[in-house]
Amino acid sequence: MKKAVLIALTIIVLTFLSCQNKNIATLKVSNPDNKAVAFSGFYSSSLLDSSRINGITPATYKIDVNPEDDYIRAGFTKTTVTDGSSKLRVELIYLNKTKDVKTATVPLLGWAVVSCDIP
């Protein structure tokens, strides 16, 4: 019985690991208080020169990456000048692991910049 459970767990773990897409990184732009916060920013990788973004939290972006050798960089700022208290949180995720997290509070001048080397 124990062997059957261990084999089943091994199969589940191996299936999960094989489902991870090594060619995609994820950017999550959010507000810790679940407020809608307007933002502007960019992201880039060696496969993507640069992509400009305007949006409202929460937002998720997928970035194509070279799993052998890449560098991802992203930066976001709040665009509502009168919003001096809401936080803008940027999280960079690769292979289901958070690689970098930054938060910005000051509109237009405060940037949350994240980066990560791949692999």
Residue 6 domain flag: no
**pLDDT tens, 56-94?**
999 999 999 999 999 999 999 999 988 888 999 999 999
The whole-number average pLDDT for the span 16-27 is 73
Question: What is the tally of structural domains in the chain?
Answer: 1
Residue 12 domain flag: no
Q: Quick check: 7 pLDDT over 80?
A: no
**pLDDT tens, 41-57?**
999 998 887 889 999 99
Q: Within 10 A of 41 (CB to CB), how many other CB atoms are there? A: 25
- How many residues in total does the chain contain? 119
Locus of tokens 């910005």 = 104
Structure tokens at 28: 């999550």
Domain CATH for 69 = 2.60.40
CA distance 31 to 80: 14
Q: What pTM, to 2 d.p., does this model score?
A: 0.78
Q: Domain range for residue 106? A: 22-118
